[in-house]
A and B are shown apart, each in its own frame.
Chain A
Amino acid sequence: MRSFLLGLLMLLTLFLGFWAYQQNYKTRAALKETRNIERQIRIAGERMNMLKAEWNYLNRPDRLKELVDINFLRVKLQPMQPSQIKSLAEITEYGGL
């Protein structure tokens, strides 16, 4: 009984040692991956920031207006007029919704 217990404990110790060894390596791998992901996040953040700048630059009012003017024959966009805003009652008057 006693030797059985002793053997069990020895096995347990062996197992724990192995487990700790593995955990150590797993932790190191995880840290390395974290650093890698952080780097990727940073690069993606920089890229996102650049895209945000580009998006806002391409959507600047001056450019949009120019595009509207160039494509006037196709899109026929004109400044909004107050008369274009109607109440619901007026819409039904013109033939329903």
Chain B
Amino acid sequence: MHSDPQHDAYPVDYLPKTMGDQDYKDRMLSSSPTRERRWAEEIGIRAREIAESRLTFVGLAFFVIFFVVAIKMNLISFSAAPEGRVGISNGIIMQRSDILDRNGRVLAMNIDTHSLYAQPQQMIDPKAAVAGLIRVFPDLEKRRESLLNSFTDGKRKFLWIKKNISPEQRQAIHELGEPGLLFGPREMRLYPNGATAAHILGGASFGKEGVTAAEVIGVAGIEKKFDDYLRDPDLAGDPLKISIDLTIQTIIEELLAGGIELMDAKGASAVLMDVHTGEVVSMASLPDFDPNNRPRPLTSGDQSDSPLFNRAVQGVYELGSVYKILAAAQALDLDLVTPETIIDTSPPMRIGRYPIGEYRNKNYGKLSVADIIVNSSNRGTARMALEIGGERQQEFLRSLGMFEATPIEIVEAKGGKPLRPKKWGELSTVTISYGHGLSTTAVHLASAYAAIANGGYYVAPTLMLQDGPQYERRVMSEEAAVASQQILRKVVTDGTATFAEVAGYSVAGKTGTADKPKPTGGYYKDKVIATFASIFPATDPKYVLIVSLDEPEVNINNRDYRTAGWTAVPVAAEIIGRVAPLLGLAPQYEQFPD
């Protein structure tokens, strides 16, 4: 029997299926040599077929794998490259967003500075280091002893020297060549315009402090109100744009300062607001401060004497006769009167035990509603208020936002909560109708006048830019609002505010002179708050301007004048003349100016 070990060496499963069959194999091999050759050939063919299919498989597998790799590479090369690891927008440079005015001018921004600290154990010559430090920072003189102690006693490993230094100071310290004096990066809040708009911006200071960084946090004003927003890393330095106009703000502050100087006043405030959107274009309070170097709050005495005090927002005062138009507007709205209705304003008039008097004990006799406002008659307004009744009066004042703190977006606003009588009796109804007994801020007043100016809607005062009118609710009919505007115009043309005539701009408004309350009770005879609340242009009101002077006094021909008509009104007129063109209002002349 023929046997080939080579053939037998083939594992059975490599052979064609029939070959595994021992009988078949025996039959083939035993028959003839040609058959043996044919068998060998057949094995060769089968083996090659298997090898080929395997190679094809491997080849395909490699092809698929490389194809996938190629696709992935292409995807990577065509996809947008991600921002680098040290992007300028995410965190390092702009930790806190800028604040811009409505035209994009910078009101507050961050700059990089350095802090200076010491590591005493690395010091080479502590004595020379202290001497050098004092040369650069003369104010360290008083810390000389304590610095030298902490540099030499070996206990301190770390010591802050200065929280913020300028590049020049940093260079000077570098030149000392002391390895124990080190710098940490710092961000500092800068208010490039100094005291301008100080009360709105507030100020910032350092929160948590580390060697390599310190948090900048808002401490007052809009900086504190929007602290979370300004620090939000997701916003990546998107600036906060507010409704203030830097140019107008500067002009108003300048003119107020002029008014204070001329009239020897203690302070002044002004609010300029868009009557349709509620945007506060300017809000000023003097005296002011530099937010770059915010003074400390007073530890004793009256906080309202501090320059930090925001008179426009925190100053809650009885603003006097400027309220009278509100009583008239409501009476008109309720159809109790028309501007021509005649009311008897003659004395005597008593509410309980209290007589209601007039300024300088005048007696105006019978007056029309319009003339009651023009002449600022207390008794006339009181009669209207009695017609309206306390209930409806409160409802109306509440709808004008006079009972709540203003929603304006600075933290101080919630401190400007109006003061109203606990018991609103008939006497309160009467006195409040002419502005005594209810204390509000200038911003409250601006909102109320805006409702008259815009045709009867309450708009919330805001520092955010708005798109279009923001009428929240109707508080009076359009007819009542328009009639009130005409009465206010008459106050300027032939009433107490004749100084408010501005060439090219028709102004409407109402004066108010309120005696200041003594802290001990009662009122001062010679200290007043003079206010002029105005809307312009009277033909189609766009803006409301409130100007308030604290304790003004002008001496003309040896007579002292304190009333708003002589103090606040001229200042307001000056402001309107300067500011109206900048607000995009073209002057309109009834006749050609000379």
Contact = CB atoms under 8 A, between A and B. Distances in A.
Given A82-B502, A82-B503, A85-B581, A56 B93 contact: no
Interface stretch (B115-123, B187-195, B307-315, B550-558): B187-195
B60 interface: no
A60 B192 contact: yes
B587 interface: yes
Contacts of A56: 105-106, 109, 192-193
A46 B193 CA distance: 21
B580 A82 contact: yes
B246 A52 contact: no
Contacts of B105: 56
Interface in A35-68: 35, 38-39, 41-42, 45-46, 49-50, 52-53, 56-57, 59-62, 65
A61 B580 CA distance: 19
B328 to A, nearest CB: 30
B247 interface: yes
B422 interface: no
A93 B303 CA distance: 58
A13 interface: no
Nearest to A47: B112
A39 B86 contact: yes
A22 interface: no
Contacts of B505: 82
Interface string B572-594: 00000110111000110000010
Contacts of A61: 193, 196, 246-247, 250
Contacts of B190: 53, 57
Chain A interface, >50% SS class: helix
A64 B121 CA distance: 50
Interface in B69-101: 84-88, 92-94
A81 interface: yes
Interface string B179-213: 00000000000101110100000000000000000
B504 interface: yes
B577 A57 contact: no
Contact of A83 (B92, B247, B251, B504): B504
A46 B112 contact: yes
Contacts of A41: 88
A49 B93 contact: yes
A65 B194 CA distance: 14
Contacts of B84: 34-35, 38
Contacts of B94: 49
Interface string A70-83: 00000000011111
A82 B111 contact: no
A80 B586 CA distance: 13
Nearest to A54: B192
A82 B192 contact: no
A80 B86 contact: no
Interface residues of A, number: 27
Interface string B513-547: 00000000000000000000000000000000000
Contacts of B578: 79-80
Contacts, number: 78
Contact of B586 (A62, A79, A85): A85
Contact of A38 (B86, B109, B503): B86
B196 A42 contact: no
Contacts of A59: 192
Nearest to B250: A61
Given A50-B111, A56-B106, A82-B580, A62 B194 contact: yes
A65 B582 CA distance: 17
Interface in B231-260: 246-247, 250-251, 254
A13 B388 CA distance: 100
Given A35-B84, A38-B85, A83 B109 contact: no
Contacts of B86: 35, 38-39, 42
Of the candidates A60, A65, A79, A80, the one having the most CB atoms from chain B within 10 angstroms of its own CB is: A60
A59 B192 CA distance: 8
B110 interface: yes
Contacts of A62: 193-194, 196, 250
Contacts of B246: 61
Contact of B112 (A38, A50, A82): A50
B410 to A, nearest CB: 21
A82 B127 CA distance: 66
A52 B194 contact: no
B186 to A, nearest CB: 13
A87 B593 CA distance: 13
Contacts of A84: 581
B88 A52 contact: no
29 contacts: A34-B84, A35-B84, A38-B85, A42-B88, A45-B88, A46-B93, A49-B93, A50-B111, A52-B106, A52-B109, A53-B109, A56-B106, A56-B109, A56-B193, A57-B190, A62-B193, A62-B194, A62-B250, A65-B254, A79-B251, A79-B578, A82-B502, A82-B503, A82-B581, A82-B587, A84-B581, A85-B504, A85-B581, A87-B586
Interface of A: 34-35, 38-39, 41-42, 45-46, 49-50, 52-53, 56-57, 59-62, 65, 79-85, 87
Q: Which 8 residue pairs across A and B have the least CB separation, nearest first?
A: A56-B192, A82-B504, A61-B250, A45-B88, A38-B84, A82-B587, A57-B192, A56-B106
